[in-house]
Amino acid sequence: MKVLLLNEPDNYFELLETNINDQVCTKNERPDLVHLFVKSKKEFEAEMKKLESFCKKNPAIIIWVSWYKKSAKMPTDITEDTIRNYALKNGLVDVKVCAVSDIWSGLKLVVPLVKRNKI
């Protein structure tokens, strides 16, 4: 599985507690999984637009979007609902939510099964 990391925090590999260096995408590789970290709605929407071509080329792609938890007390205008609403309007669905760390939450987005062969 090839992984594309976008805007990951400096301690990303510590959070994973495992070495995935051999799975991280090189410049010309197509990812199977994207982990996108965002701090604002504007940043989120811009990054998701860039990912549209990956979804078309690989409808089985998994996109994890992480944002600051409210309890992190970090300035942000993005929430789980912001991400979910964008996903639903853009042909994706959320299938899982989790705590990535004490300051980051994560929402897993995928192309719905019924749409995968139509892309």
State the Cα–Cα distance between residues 85 and 111, nearest whole angstrom.
14
| DSSP H stretches of helix in the chain | 12-16, 41-57, 80-89, 113-116
* Closest by CA position to 51, among listed 21, 82, 11, 91: 91
CATH class label, 3-116: alpha beta
Percent of all residues in the chain with a pLDDT value above 90, rounded to a whole number: 84
The reported pTM is 0.93
Model confidence at 118, pLDDT cuts 50, 70, 90, reads: low
